[in-house]
């Protein structure tokens, strides 16, 4: 008799716990801002940022049918290792732009934003790093700010609270976003400049090439 009552009590407790967890998950889903990237596939930390832009962790060959279903035409990779080890599907272009968040500068951001914009003209784009949090998160935030006109605060809220990874991964990205000169980035992006500074390595290289051509 005691065991029966004890078992019933445990079952009721578990039901209450599961109900509470379900309610909490439902509340989280409802409270997620509609303008934030929306989840597509948990396995790959895959989210849709806009009709033409997705973000994720490192995919594998199992993700190829999903990418085809999403009509992804370009995959932008922020890792030093190429995507050719898992992606061999015809019709999906591969762009490799490796960088590290603790060494990121304006030229990295401009290169990425320009690559995204160019690729979007051909169809949806997926950008990824290893976990889909820090490197991808930084570029996603800068896309929001520079291209889509979001405030830094709104972009950082999405980056750190959007469920893309542990918050401890974002400190370098947050530091860059906070100090970024958005007006200069927008001007450089519109003018086709490789950096916001005339003294950046890529700017000096372009200047020397121009001088040599003359």
Domain boundary assignment for the chain: 37-192
Tell me how crowded residue 156 is: count the other CB atoms within 10 A of its CB.
20
Contact 36, 158 (CB under 8 A): yes
Contact 119, 73 (CB under 8 A): yes
Between CA 214 and CA 211 the distance in angstroms is: 5
Structure tokens at 180: 């970024």
Structure tokens at 91: 């019709």
pLDDT 10s digit of each residue in the chain, 214 long? 443 443 444 343 433 433 433 333 334 444 889 999 999 999 999 999 999 999 999 999 999 999 999 999 999 999 999 999 999 989 999 999 999 999 999 999 999 999 999 999 999 999 999 999 999 999 999 999 999 999 999 999 999 999 999 877 799 999 999 999 999 999 999 999 999 988 877 866 654 454 455 5
Structure tokens at 27: 């509340």
How would you classify the pairing of strands 46-50 and 38-41?
A: antiparallel
Q: What is the dihedral of CA 8, 14, 16, 19, to 10 degrees?
A: -140
Strand spans (E) along the chain:
38-41, 46-50, 53-56, 74-77, 93-96, 125-128
Residues 6 or more apart whose CB falls under 8 angstroms from that of 31 comprise none
User: Domain 37-192 adopts which CATH fold?
Assistant: 3.90.190
| Selection from 211, 188, 189, 190 nearest residue 198 by Cα | 188
pTM of the model: 0.82
Structure tokens at 210: 């121009």
Contact 155, 144 (CB under 8 A): yes
């Amino acid at each position: 008799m005691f065991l029966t009552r004890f078992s019933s009590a445990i079952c009721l407790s578990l039901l209450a716990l599961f109900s509470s967890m379900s309610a909490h998950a439902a509340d989280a889903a409802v409270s997620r801002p509609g303008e934030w990237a929306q989840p597509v596939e948990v396995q790959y930390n895959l989210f849709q940022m806009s009709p033409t832009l997705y973000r994720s962790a490192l995919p594998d060959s199992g993700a190829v049918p999903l990418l085809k279903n999403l009509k992804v035409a370009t995959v932008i990779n922020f890792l030093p290792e190429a995507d050719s080890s898992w992606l061999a599907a015809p019709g999906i272009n591969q762009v490799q732009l490796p960088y590290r968040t603790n060494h990121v500068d304006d030229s990295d951001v401009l290169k990425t934003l320009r690559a995204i914009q160019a690729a979007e003209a051909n169809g949806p784009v997926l950008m990824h790093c290893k976990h889909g949090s820090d490197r991808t998160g930084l570029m996603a935030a800068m896309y929001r700010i520079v291209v889509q006109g979001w405030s830094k605060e709104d972009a950082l809220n999405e980056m750190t609270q959007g469920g893309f990874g542990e918050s401890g991964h974002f400190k370098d990205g947050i530091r860059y976003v906070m100090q970024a000169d958005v007006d200069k980035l927008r001007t450089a992006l519109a003018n086709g400049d490789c950096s916001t500074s005339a003294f950046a390595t890529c700017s000096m290289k372009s200047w020397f090439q121009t001088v040599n051509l003359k």
